[in-house]
A and B are shown apart, each in its own frame.
Chain A
Amino acid sequence: MNALLVSAILGVLLMLSSVFIKNKSSIHTLALVGLAVLFVLNLAEINGWLLFEIDLKGMLRFDRYALVMNAIMLASLFFYLLLSGRSMEKVGPHYADYLALLFFICAGLFMVTGYTSLLILFLGIEVISIPLYILTGSDKRNLKSNEAALKYFLLGSFSTGLLLLGIAFFYGARGNFSATVAVDPTVVGSSLQLASLLLLLFAMSFKVSVAPFHFWTPDVYDGAPTVFTSFMATIVKVALFAAFVRLFEDTFSLQFSTWQPWVAGFAVLTLLIGNLTAVFQQSVKRMLAYSSIAQAGFMLLAVYAINGDSKEGLLLYAASYSLATIGIFAVLSHLQDYTFEGFNGLAKKQPVVAASLAIFFLSLAGIPLTGGFLAKLFMIKAALVYQPWVAIFAVIMAVVAVFYYFRVIQAMYFRTADQASFPEFPKHFPTLLLVTALLLVLLGVFPETILGLLYF
């Protein structure tokens, strides 16, 4: 609760700050300080210290899982702002507004990780989506950015419609909006209940870009300014997955056998489409868009298996996937050439940047000693409880993923540059990137540091 309210306040503060503060780097610092405050407040709440005493009327519940998820998102966001905060200046003149929107989105993120009423879920998703539509179209002179924003808006509204209809049916079947109240077993089989289950499943699948509801993703991710793609593909996606898990774990736990085959099918389809399409991409940015679909397939296993392992796995996945992807996009936003050839020979010119990028890609591919490996390990372990075929399919797709992730490593390390120079990176950028990469390695060696938060 601490973080939710303060992030909304900080959003307003940042919006007004552009009137008083003209220096962009001061605004950037302000945002970083704000995030640090949010992080500390969130940690305080994990330890039971609340800033406000508000009667939530049973609509929000910040349990330990939600709070740890929030802490991971805040930490990722902190690294995001450190690494690519200044790249936002290149997008357009309204620097403070972009940061303000990020903080508003944060409030939405905390709502979707902590909801207990479907109304809050709906509100949270809208609070996230509307600023995202704006950020996608923020590069106003770029046609692709405009097209992406419109596409995102239209399809996003459509899926919101599905979500709302699902919630309405849910109310019709159960007579309340509560995600946690125990269901009367007699209504479980009703057709209203089934309709609401499927509509909510489809709407959530759309929001986290799970196949066959992924069609908006590549175009939107490709068209949006790179800094904002980075944010959308990581922190937002992870939060929505947490919401997804909560919805199916609590609300629909009795209909497990109804929805599990659906989720299994979606996971398999997502892994297949995401990975196979990513192999054929020529632009690294577009490859990352498809890779984010593929990774969503893996994260969907958390919903599919829905047990202790899968929930822990989702936390690790959230941290490792977000950090790695944020790091890669941060480098990408400095490069001119988004093709694979654009990375040729980077290792010779910028060894630190290249080494960090290599760690990010190894983590995404799931190679041991990185966070990504353990995240995948937890997911597979969780999924193995049921049919082994889903898990086996997932690991085969993880091998396919190596094809496209390693293309970048090959370009950086094994090929020589045909172009003379890479753009200069900002002064502390390589060091920061390396710190992010080392954090990822730390996560892969001592994952207890994060998982321990859950239990102590």
Chain B
Amino acid sequence: MVVLLLLLIPLIGASFLFLYKGDYQFSAAAALKISLASLLVMGARLFYWQTPEMLSFSAPWLTALGSSFSLRMDGLGTILSLLTTASYFLLFWYLRGQSIERPAAFFAWLLLAQAGMLGVFLAMDSLLFYFFWELALIPMYFLASQWGGARRIPVTFKFFIYTFLGSVFMLIGILYLQSKTADHSFALESIKKIRLSSDQQSWLFWLFFIAFAIKLPVFPFHTWQPDTYEESPTPVTAMLSAVMVKMGILGLLRWLLPLFPIASYMWGDVVMTLAVVGIVYASFLAMQQTDLKRLIAYSSIAHIGLMTAGAFALNNMAYQGLLLQLFTHGINILGMWILADLIERKTGTRTMASLGGIAQHSPAITIFFVIISLANIALPLTNAFVGEFLLFNGILATPSNYYWVFAVVGGLGIIFSAVYTLKMIRTIFYGEANSVTQAPILLASHECWVLSAMVCLILFFGVYPQPLLNLTADFSKELFGLTDITALFRKS
């Protein structure tokens, strides 16, 4: 029931907003309440509703095809739903007191995207998964194309085409798997029972991987990402990078690795090479950026690269770190986008060279920015440190001959991220104040609350990550059971 509620609340909310076209105040308040309702349901799930009946839902649908509307919230689904509901709530809270054209439609599309993404996180049927995968894309496309910057139309279209191209390959893979199941069903459980030869696994692996690699994005499939992040309105960018890229990681963890473990091992070196090349490449580009949004976009590619490498480390430690990082990366990057948006709105520019010396007159935003940036580079005592530490440990235990290369190059990424982040802080906040930054940046009270809430999350989970690890421990153990290469080879 919980899973159904989580889908229905944003869906009904979105339809309501589409039909009842209120002004900005009304729409923003309504959206905030809807996202609060989702968050409360999620909270209730964490503390009270924990029986399996509450956490799954199944109804017949497209029975002629062998598909059913089946949702279930496992550890991965839990942490991602938590991230989604929390990010939406924080974002909508932050968005109060701004103004956006056609607000009702804007919030409605965002809520539709929320429903789509939650569907992706919870679907246990491959066709349903594909449905939601596309449904999450359409609202984002409309959002970015209608409310974006000057080059929005070609840029977001590129984003759409890339993702669509990836997903149709996945569709072929899904249909092929369905034809191989004993009961001609799209259900994940049935698919898991198929015994695939390593050749079959290999090409199916690529059909699925391209879809996920584009979504993540992994180098060299990333070219849509910086443009799209830059041209989209910042709230949309925030949701794209905080929540939507997690669809790619989820694809790896729920579909790719457990279904094709042998191929994941065989192609693991290739993927990890791509991932660490992406880390270095994106870090270098991030150092060269003059635009704040583009810098964050490239830094996001670098982080995702590390997470992808962790997924292919194929051991429990890396999975644990990755699952934790799903949540922390989402919160941290959301914080970065909110701060970028604040700076752009209050100073009117996001070119870093024309900013400078903000710290002199506006200490509050400086403190928030520094804490969240430090979390973004995974300093100890921040939440990301725990996740990245586990990830690196896991990468060092990779069943590959080149594990140390991946660990060293990935480690360089951390150093680089410190370089560009600190450089960004220095350019924007320190130095002499100029005419743009002369006026103090005053934070409204709700903006202060949102940022404080984030800082609390960052510090709390930096010191005590155990609750999150507990949520996902079962899932990661089960995943490791399915992808444990030594055991698999012993069996065959």
B-binding residues in A (CB < 8 A): 312, 362, 367-369, 377, 380-381, 384-385, 388, 391-392, 395-396, 398-399, 402-403, 406, 410, 413-415, 447-448, 451
Contact = CB atoms under 8 A, between A and B. Distances in A.
Contact of B145 (A377, A398, A414, A447): A414
A399 B161 contact: yes
Nearest to B171: A395
**Is chain A's binding surface mostly helix, strand, loop or mixed?**
helix
**Is chain B's binding surface mostly helix, strand, loop or mixed?**
helix
22 contacts: A368-B135, A377-B175, A380-B172, A384-B172, A384-B175, A384-B176, A385-B179, A388-B176, A391-B172, A395-B168, A395-B172, A399-B164, A399-B165, A402-B161, A402-B164, A403-B161, A406-B157, A410-B157, A414-B153, A447-B64, A448-B62, A448-B64
Contacts of B165: 396, 399
B215 to A, nearest CB: 15
A425 B418 CA distance: 60
Contacts of A398: 168
Nearest to B175: A381
B169 A395 contact: yes
A362, A381, A388: most-surrounded residue (chain B CB, <10 A): A381
B131 A369 contact: yes
A368, A388, A410, A451: most-surrounded residue (chain B CB, <10 A): A368
B284 interface: no
Contacts of A415: 153
B146 A381 contact: no
Contacts of A402: 160-161, 164
Contacts of A368: 130-131, 134-135
Given A377-B65, A414-B146, 6 more contacts: A368-B135, A369-B131, A380-B172, A388-B176, A396-B165, A451-B64
A368 B160 CA distance: 14
Interface string B152-196: 110001001100110011011001101100000000000000000
B179 A381 contact: yes
Contacts of B179: 381, 384-385
B138 interface: yes
Given A398-B168, A403-B161, A369 B135 contact: yes
A388 B175 CA distance: 11
Given A368-B134, A399-B168, A448-B64, A414 B175 contact: no
Contacts of B168: 395-396, 398-399
A398 B164 CA distance: 10
Contact of A380 (B63, B142, B164, B175): B175
A368 B130 CA distance: 8
Contacts of A395: 168-169, 171-172
A399 B142 CA distance: 18
Nearest to A378: B65
A410 B145 contact: yes
Contacts of A391: 172, 175
A367 B160 CA distance: 12
A121 B482 CA distance: 57
A62 to B, nearest CB: 23
A384 B165 CA distance: 18
